[in-house]
Structure formats: structure tokens, C-alpha cells
């Protein structure tokens, strides 16, 4: 690669829409590819998983990127900090503090404390993220999709809601089904109740085992893109969708009207990387999310969900694994190449292929 | 001791004004003595040390009582939790979060998180304390002196204020001396500046090494006694002043006008226990606080500072160590008996003596 100085206006700009741990690992490859190209990277990160608990504002997807790209993530668990300890959480349990189902490591808590104090001081989430990046030096620009809260909630069926352990039914939620009254549980043991819970509660507490009926990106309609998001998309030479969960990682980003509109108008090609190989999610529980929307868990199903540009969707290109080589997406070019992100070098080649850049 | 049920209105009520670690250990003796007497104990605890850092509301004196009486304090250090770890603090340092001079253990942080979340939910400090007591079961009633913030600040001389490392001078503070201008430090290296700092900064960061010129109990004038405080004083059969730092542990409590007035009118005898033996504080740095006020560091000096009832003070009795047996306090009875709180049993005998109750 050239060592010549590249003029500012000749620098290649890459934008990645991402969320989850798979997205963070994909960014390792993007960063590596960008270094080879002298390109700049902006990651627009999902905030739908964000939540407040124990008074702390927690941004799991932003933190996964910080820790993974900053060299501070736990390699075994895949989430959270390396060398993590759990003293605070054990103490919170001794205080019977709820929720008790969300794992908060001591090192991780320091990040949340820092974020919370900066937010309380009046900084916006994008500014807080920039400050946290001073420590982690991720080597890319990290932007939350929005400074406004957008939280993913899941409408679930709760069997026998009144008797379900640990679940407090809001009266209006029970009433919404019209099937279970105040004494319904005792007299109608097979009755069901709707309950809208935070994505994290569904994901972590219930291990995605409660059948989801709907995902709500609460606040998305009114959310403004964070400062820099629209400019990054506008200026981009390549826009990539990480192989993240299309429903709950990419979904909340795409649900912000300003971002969706800017993507529709983007001059750069938009390339998606399938998170599904041979009908199974590479990581996580995308299958359960897709099922809730009636979408086939396949490269074709997710490709059709995201859609081709000019056909109501956003994809110009759709990268699928060779096992899914037959995939067709109307309005998008389908490219088959191995998609297993076995290490950073392999991932960077996926990224180069996604941008149509020849590599050995 | 009798196993007969004691009628509610015959129960003896003991009130203790307390702060600091010495105060917490004194309460161990009070609790033991009270059990022997079937008496109820209410501790009115100093809140002058309280402060907010890293977004956490920290109440060192309340926590010292909780941990000490709840069996969760570190026996070696004397403050904080047993089995403590320091992961969060190390991470906050990695984020360059300030202040870095205040030690916050992981287990301790869980208490502050719990407190903060309850405060944010609208609970008053007295209610939060009651909730925290559910875990720690201190065996006595614990009341903050006030639900309103009362924070002790210290006016200190800062040599070469503009150049002092880590100290940011507020312009008005510099201006207050009239001696140091914007370029004063360079041209007047021997100049001094006034700076009002939180007690904890003086105590922990500067190890009480900066000569204090004044202690301000910020908010005390407007603070209302916490619910239950006045009633406890009114109902008390015995009122004890723990051998706490008279300036910064008892001072903020006594500076709350409603509490002071109720003590003046109390029907129960008020007995102070000297924190000074043979001219030295039993624990801590009371000598430096007393010096700032021009008070002799002696049992007589502190006795005179607290004063006899009917002579502008609050003491009916003043317990001093036999080495200070010559002590006289106008308007108060001075009682000499060994005051070293070597263990809980010994301390309980000091307590019984303080109440004038014969014990073997």
C-alpha cells in the first residue's frame, strides 16, 4: 500500500451500521481493511439495547465496540470486560436490588458510572461516547445512532400472567387482552396476557424464550440522528451493514426516519453482510426475532427484509455465504463469498469484498 | 436481666449523637448496653461528611454505622467494607475520572448505587437509610440528622493557588483575598489564596495538612431535622454524645437549629464522652480541627467547647479519662473513668457509666 500522504478530500470514507457483538467483531475487520486503504471509518451504533438500571445508563452495543476495538473485551464470554469481577453485583443482590437478572461486572460498572456522570453534567450521548473513546482509542469514529433514547421493547405473551413469578402485570396490559381479569389467573389457567418488556429483559432474563409478538422501537419516530450521522452517510464512499441481528440491532437504527431517508438518498453503494449462514444465525438469537416477524431465517429472508434499493429497501449488494449462493434479492446484487469471521484478517477480507475492492 | 415483657411506655430510650468511625464503635457498646437494659436506641448520625462523586451519593458516617453494626466493616482499615475489592476505582482512574483521591471500594459502591437509585426514586435520606437497614439489621434505629444536605466545607490557605497542582481556583475565591490576580502566582510566589473545599477533600486528599481557617456547615441553617429526630430527643431517657470529632462529626448535627433547640429543652440528661485522652484524639485528626478554632486539644478544651447546660452549652455530664481527672466544665458534672474502647464489652461499660447506671 502507498505511504504517500492522501489529501483530505481524497480520503475514502466508510460508514458501518452496526450493533451487537457480531457487529463489534465485524468492525475489527473494517478497521483493518481501512488501515490498508488509508480510509476513515464511522460506525453508527445501535442504541435500542440501551437501558437504565441501578441508576446507571447502560449502552451495551456502544460498549461492545469500545471494549472490542479498544482491546478490553472478554475473549471467552464475548461480552463485557476482560479480567472482570462481580463484587458490586453480589452486593446489589444482598440489598435485594432489582433487576437481578442483568449481569453487571465491576469494570463494566465503571464505564456506566463515567457515562452517567457525564450525561448528568449535560453532555449528549454522542459527546459522552467521544470522551470514552479517548481512553479506548478504537481507531474509528463511533457515533450512537441518536442522542435521543430509542429503546427496543418486546410484546410478549405471558402465560398465566398474574401468577408468573417475578412478573408484575400492569393493569392496562392485562386489560389489553380482554381475557384475563383481576382473578383471571386462578380461574383461567390457560389464559395469556400481553406484556411489553424491554428487549434486555426478553433477551437476558427470559433468554428469548417467551414468544415475541412485536418489537417496538420506542422513541424512534421522534429521534433525531446524532450529530455527524447524516453527514457521515452523505460523505461515505461505502456503506456497510454489519452482520448484526437485522431485527433488533439494525432495526432500531433504520427506524429513525432521518437516518432511513439519508440512506435512501446515499450516493455510496450500500452493502449488507448476511448474519445468517445456511439458515442459522452466526451468533445470537436472530432466528427468534425473525420468526416473530414471520421472516424466514435465511440469507434470502433477511435480504428480502432489508430489500433492494429502488424496491422499497436499502441494499445495493447482499453478501451471502457460498452455501446460500442461490439467494436472490430483488433490486440488489447478491455476492457469494465465505462469511465466517474466524479472525480479524479473514474478516477484513470480507469487508474488502463487501466494498468490491480486489484483495488477494 | 428480666425476661418479662416491658410495656411500651416503660421502655428506656437512649439517643446517641454520633459520627465517624469512633462513633460507630461507640454504638457497638451502646447496643450491647441497651440489650442488657431492654432499651431502645436511636442514633442521630452526622451527614456533614456526605458528598456526591462519580454521580454517587456517599454518606460515610451513616455507612460506617451500617457496616460496623451490621458486621460488614473492615476490621483492619477501620472504614469501608470487609473483603473489599477495588476494580471500579481502578477503572475510573483509567478513565481519568476525578476525583481520584477518594477511595471507593466495589462493595461500598453497591451501597451508594442502591442509595442513589432510591433517592432518585424520590425517597428521602432517612427512608433510604431505613431501607438499607433492612439488610444490615443494625439493631438500633438509625436517623440521619437531616434529610436536607448539610455539607462541611473547609476554608483553607492554598499557597501559590494558581500554580498548585490539580487545584482550580474559582475567580471569586482568588478575588476574595485581594492579593492574587490573574498573573499573581508568577509574580507573587509567596502569595496565598483562600479556597473553600469539601471536608472530604481536606481530610482525604490533603490529609488535613492544609491549615484550616474555618469550617462551614453548608445548609445547616436551613436544614430541618429528619423525621423522628426531634421526637427521639424529646422521648429520650438518656442522651449521649459519642466520642466523635466534636468539630466535624458532632458540629454539623448541633448546627441544625431545630436539633440544637430540642437538645436545649431535653428532659433527659445529656452526657458527653471525651474523644480526647491526655491531649490526644483517640482516633482521627480532631486536634487539627480544634486548632483551627483555637480550642485546646484536651478533655477540658472540648468540654468547654460543648459547654455546660445553663451556661450556653449542652452538657449535663462530661466523661473524661482518669488521666484528665482534673478537668472542670462550668455547669456540667465531670466524671472520670477509663475511656479506651478496647472492645465491645468495655465500651458497653463506658456507656452504662455515661448513663449513671451501676455495673460490675
Percent of chain B with pLDDT over 70: 88
Give yes or no for a cis peptide into B99 (omega within 30° of 0): yes
Q: Cβ separation of B95 and A111 shorter than 8 Å?
A: yes
User: Is the pLDDT reported for residue A8 higher than 80?
Assistant: no
Total residues found in chain A within this entry: 360
Which of B54, B89, B94 is the closest to A117 by Cβ? B54
Q: Cβ separation of B111 and A97 shorter than 8 Å?
A: no
Beta bridge partners of A241: A17, A272
pTM above 0.90, yes or no: no
Chain A nearest C-alpha distance from B33 (Å): 28
pLDDT score for A343: 96
Give yes or no for a cis peptide into B70 (omega within 30° of 0): no
Which of B55, B110, B132 is the closest to A88 by Cβ? B110
Q: Which pLDDT band, with edges at 50, 70 and 90, does B94 fall under?
A: very high
Which of B91, B107, B120 is the closest to A110 by Cβ? B91
SS3 B42: strand
DSSP string, A275-332: SEETTEESSSSHHHHHHHTT--SSHHHHHHHH-BBTTTB-BSEEEE-GGGTT--BTTB
Q: What's B222's DSSP letter?
A: G
Q: Cβ separation of B110 and A92 shorter than 8 Å?
A: yes
Look up the ipTM and state it: 0.86
Average pLDDT over residues B141-162: 87
Residue B279's Cβ-count burial label (10 Å; 0-12, 13-18, 19+) is middle
In this structure, of A38-52, A292-306, B25-39, B157-171, the range with the lowest mean pLDDT score is B157-171
Beta-carbon contacts of B303 under 8 Å, excluding residues fewer than 6 positions away, are B272, B274, B315, B318, B320, B327, B329, B332, B334
| Helices then strands, each counted (H, E), chain B | 14, 14
SS3 B51: strand
pLDDT score for A198: 95
User: Is the pLDDT reported for residue A106 higher than 80?
Assistant: yes
Q: Cβ separation of A106 and B88 shorter than 8 Å?
A: yes
Mean pLDDT of chain B: 89
| Residues of chain A with C-beta less than 8 angstroms from the C-beta of B88 | 88, 106-107, 109-110, 113
| Residues of chain A with C-beta less than 8 angstroms from the C-beta of B135 | 94-96
Nearest CA in chain A to B83: A87
Q: Which pLDDT band, with edges at 50, 70 and 90, does B360 fall under?
A: confident
Nearest partner of B233 among B330, B141, B320, B350, judged by Cα: B141
Amino acid at each position: 500500500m502507498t505511504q504517500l500522504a492522501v489529501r483530505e478530500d481524497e480520503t475514502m470514507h466508510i460508514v458501518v451500521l452496526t450493533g451487537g457483538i457480531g457487529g463489534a467483531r465485524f468492525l475489527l475487520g473494517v478497521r483493518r481493511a481501512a488501515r490498508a486503504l488509508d480510509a476513515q471509518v464511522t460506525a453508527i451504533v445501535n442504541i435500542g439495547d440501551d437501558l437504565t438500571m441501578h441508576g446507571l445508563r447502560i449502552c451495551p452495543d456502544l460498549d461492545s465496540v469500545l471494549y472490542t476495538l479498544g482491546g478490553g473485551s472478554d475473549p471467552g464470554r464475548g461480552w463485557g470486560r476482560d479480567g472482570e469481577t462481580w463484587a458490586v453485583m453480589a452486593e446489589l443482590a444482598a440489598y435485594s436490588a432489582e433487576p437481578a437478572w442483568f449481569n453487571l461486572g465491576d469494570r463494566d460498572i465503571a464505564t456506566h458510572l463515567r457515562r452517567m456522570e457525564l450525561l448528568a453534567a449535560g453532555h449528549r450521548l454522542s459527546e459522552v461516547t467521544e470522551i470514552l473513546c479517548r481512553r479506548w482509542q478504537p481507531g474509528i469514529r463511533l457515533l450512537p445512532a441518536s442522542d435521543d433514547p430509542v429503546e427496543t421493547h418486546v410484546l410478549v405473551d405471558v402465560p398465566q400472567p398474574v401468577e408468573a413469578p417475578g412478573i408484575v402485570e400492569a393493569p392496562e396490559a392485562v386489560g389489553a387482552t380482554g381475557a384475563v381479569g383481576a382473578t383471571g389467573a386462578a380461574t383461567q389457567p390457560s389464559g395469556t396476557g400481553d406484556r411489553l418488556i424491554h428487549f434486555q429483559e426478553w433477551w437476558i432474563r427470559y433468554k428469548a424464550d417467551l414468544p415475541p409478538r412485536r418489537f417496538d422501537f420506542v422513541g424512534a419516530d421522534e429521534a433525531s440522528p446524532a450529530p455527524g450521522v447524516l453527514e457521515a452517510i452523505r460523505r461515505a464512499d461505502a456503506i456497510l451493514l454489519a452482520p448484526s441481528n437485522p431485527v433488533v440491532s439494525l432495526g432500531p437504527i433504520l427506524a429513525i426516519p432521518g437516518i432511513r431517508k439519508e440512506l435512501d438518498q446515499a450516493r455510496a453503494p450500500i452493502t449488507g453482510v448476511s448474519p445468517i449462514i445456511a439458515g442459522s444465525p452466526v451468533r445470537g438469537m436472530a432466528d427468534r426475532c425473525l420468526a416473530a416477524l414471520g421472516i424466514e431465517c435465511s440469507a434470502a429472508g433477511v435480504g428480502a427484509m432489508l430489500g433492494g434499493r429502488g424496491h422499497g429497501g436499502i441494499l445495493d449488494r447482499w453478501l451471502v455465504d457460498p452455501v446460500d449462493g442461490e439467494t436472490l434479492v430483488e433490486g440488489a446484487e447478491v455476492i457469494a463469498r465465505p462469511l465466517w469471521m474466524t479472525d480479524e484478517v479473514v474478516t477484513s477480507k470480507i469487508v474488502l469484498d463487501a466494498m468490491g475492492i480486489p484483495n488477494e
